[in-house]
Structure 1
């Protein structure tokens, strides 16, 4: 069974906020809604990107939902959005007012079996509504494989078994799943080459800073004091080897998977 009792840190998550925000902007650009009354952001995080929804559609009621009370507390400070604590699966399966634009940016990868949830999400849309999703597709990269290998070592495995880990599918899988719901679908992938500050910067371990705010956070929080420090030290060492600074900063390749679905009017 997957354990999900970790807590998110909005400030840590907002490290490299510009880089994290680029996929959201690219996703939003493919949504053709003109004046939607109801807009929902599933997995709104600290609300820094949900703000863009309120700016694009100022007449809309923009609702941001997240399972993390810490994230929602931060999002409530953002003007123009209504932020609430809610579970994606429970919300998808609850009857409510139809939604005109439903966006989920870098959240569904944390929902086990989220592919089977897509019909329920599309079912929350009004006729002519839009569903837009983006998930990481980089789980075969060293930033993830190193964490998995290290977490499986005897010194750490007793603490990390069952810890929540993200997962996703290729664009074609989402394309077919959403087409089966009667949607017109646009699906694609983009690999960003994020150039992070290198060894001479104030943060000597920028890739660790990145992953410790997202994919690696549940694993790190599962480790007790003393054990966590040993894990982090070795994790940082291996990440520095996998992502060396060649004198121009540290390059972090990051594949993202997108899908935008439009329901019949």
Structure 2
């Protein structure tokens, strides 16, 4: 995320932008004396509210924008400090009791890895809370990306269009649970902002999303981009005053497991501290004390008594449950400790017994080894005698082997004779292949004659008639360079419809493709690859305009079917058109030149 933010532009809608912050803050609990970090602290005003609400001893706000941190300096002090840092490269030296981020993580990619990294910054029993916009499908965002794809902005941006990394709410819930967080709360909330007019939406987005495009464009192009964005947005939303701007956001929070009891005791300490502070305020402020007395006198004491009794019962139940839980933990711990002590003693006795048994086995093994060595000496002597006898027997076997090898060589000679017979069979097969090639050549001669007749027909047709016949019988006229020719009706093709819905083809581009003379699927005959889509432009005499249309429409359909190629077809082709076709990769399906046609006409 870039650091060149405009704080004035960002804070034009400060009240509307701050509400999600306070909603997120309500999902956290105070951490008295703890450590807190605010990822993407911006101008620091809300970070000050976070620091005071959490009652932390130390709060750190980080942001990558020097302009934002210049504003934040006014709110530093009392344990709150700010630091210039990028979340993507930030590495804290110690964990935090609360990691908080309001509308910042959407600027970083790969949220699954990002959350896993940030979770490591949370201390056991600590909290993680973040809020990210989920409004990428609103025209305020989609129009910004569409304008970025228009010229001259697409070239200036190098084809850059901002990716949206925000996940579905349920995926964040799964990730937090998988990372060991407890009491996970994730919700999708729609905020309703009543703006003065439709154009205020542009000013809202200019303070956030559009900064990503503005910083990549020069001042002149930036102004043109904003003017085009406003024009497109007004056409999309209509001119209304006031305008209700709905904005979806995801709020997520959870407590890292491993410190349940510490968290509960902390909550009890906070409650006690809150009551003590209130009593202290009553002692110091007579007016507040008098107001409290009026409220108490006017209260429904019967209902208050019931509420107090209910609260007392709940507190007693909770205390009893907590004491029972602690007693159960102590009992279980003592039982396990005693069990481990008994097991350790049994293990020591077992080890002593096994060592004694091992010593006895070693003595027995030593005696057995001596006996075995003596037996081995006797065996070696017997083996020497046996080896001498075996060598003598081996000599006899070698002689028999020599005789057997001679017999096998005779069998090899017979096999060679069989191989010669097989070679003769192979020669016969080759003769059969030659005969098949002769039949194929005859077939090709027949095709050439048929194509010659087609060329003769083309000479007697007008350009419109050629287009009509090519459209109705593409296999007949494209049979020389292609095989398996099948016509595609673009207006009825589901893949083209899906491309239009996905924004791969604009409406104007779609209309341009529909004007192609014919679009087919075909396979080149001469080993030029597999089946591909071919856009064919036909004319009596193919000129540069036909080549340009074929190249342009092939490029458009190439977004739907990669590898689509353009081709031109007709009775003749101009020299300029042929040169352009070679330069632009358009296949020429015309042999005759326009100059030859002119000479034949003169003759």
Residue 48, structure 1, aligned to residue 45, structure 2: yes
Other-structure match for 1:87: 86
In the other structure, the counterpart of 1:129 is: 126
Structure 2 length normalisation: TM-score?
0.41
- Mapped pair 1:142 → 2:136: no
* Shift in CA distance, 70/164, structure 1 to aligned 2, threshold 3 Å: farther
Match of 1:181 among 156, 179, 182: 179
Structural mapping, 1:239-250, within 5 Å? 239-247=233-241, 249-250=242-243
Residue 202 of structure 1 corresponds to which residue in structure 2?
A: none
Query: Greater CA deviation, 126-135 or 154-163?
Result: 154-163
Cα distance per residue 1:153-197 (max 9 Å; x no partner): 121101223365543111111111111111011100101111111
Following the alignment from structure 1 to structure 2, what is the Cα–Cα distance between the partners of residues 36 and 255?
Answer: 34
**What whole-Å deviation, never above 9, does each CA across 1:19-61 have from its counterpart, x for those lacking one?**
0011111001011234251110000011121121122134421
Partner in structure 1 of residue 253 of structure 2? 260
Please state whether the residue corresponding to 1:33 is helix, strand or coil: coil
> Partners in 2 of 1:120 and 1:6 — Cα distance?
22
Q: Quick check: 1:222 aligned with 2:216?
A: yes
Q: 5 Å matches for 1:1-265? A: 4-5=1-2, 7-80=4-77, 81-91=80-90, 94-160=91-157, 161-162=159-160, 165-184=163-182, 185-198=184-197, 205-247=199-241, 249-264=242-257, 265=259
Other structure's SS at 1:226 match: helix
Evaluate the alpha carbon distance shift between residue 54 and residue 139 of structure 1 in structure 2; reply closer, same or farther with a 3 A threshold: same
Q: Equivalents in 1 of 2:21, 2:2: separation in Å?
A: 26
Q: What RMSD, in angstroms, separates the aligned Cα atoms of the two structures?
A: 1.8
1:77/1:166 CA distance change after superposition, 3 Å? farther
Q: How far is 1:222 from its partner?
A: 1.6
Q: 1-side partners of 2:92 and 2:45: how far apart? A: 28
Structure with the bigger RCO (C-alpha within 8 Å, sep 6+) is: 1
Cα distance, 1:143 vs structure 2: 0.6
CA distance in 1, matches of 2:10, 2:141: 17
Report the 3-state secondary structure (helix = DSSP H, G, I; strand = E; otherwise coil) of the residue aligned with 2:141: helix
Which sections of structure 1, spanning at least 5 residues, go unmatched? Answer: 200-204
The answer to whether the 8 Å contact 2:145/2:161 transfers is: no
Q: After the TM superposition, which parts of structure 1 deviate over 4 Å for at least 4 consecutive aligned residues?
A: 163-166
Whether the 8 Å CA contact 2:111–2:167 is kept in 1: the answer is no
Residues 1:95 and 1:22: Cα distance change in structure 2 (over 3 Å): closer
Mind listing any 5+ residue stretches in structure 2 that lack a counterpart?
260-603
Describe the SS at the equivalent of 1:139. Answer: coil
**Separation in 2 of the partners of 1:263 and 1:220?**
39
How many angstroms apart in 2 are the aligned matches of 1:59 and 1:104?
16
Shift of 1:226: 2.4
Q: Is the 8 A contact 2:31 2:56 kept in 1?
A: no
3-state SS of paired residue (1:77): helix
Q: Mean Cα displacement is larger for which, 47-56 or 178-187?
A: 47-56
Does the residue aligned with 2:147 lie in a helix, a strand or coil? helix
Q: CA deviation at 1:95?
A: 4.9
2: distance between equivalents of 1:74 and 1:166? 28
**CA contact under 8 A between 2:35 and 2:98: conserved in structure 1?**
yes
Q: Distance in 1 between matches of 2:176 and 2:161?
A: 29
3-state SS, counterpart of residue 209 of structure 2:
coil
| Contact 1:45–1:72 (CA under 8 A) maintained in structure 2 | yes
**Which is further off, 44-53 or 73-82?**
73-82
Q: Distance in 2 between matches of 1:39 and 1:152?
A: 41
CA distance in 1, matches of 2:178, 2:119: 11
How many Å apart are 1:242 and its aligned residue? 3.2
Structure with max Cα Rg = 2
Q: Distance in 2 between matches of 1:76 and 1:163?
A: 34
Change (3 A) 1:84 1:163: farther
Higher strand share: 1
User: In 1, distance between residues paired with 2:42 and 2:177?
Assistant: 28
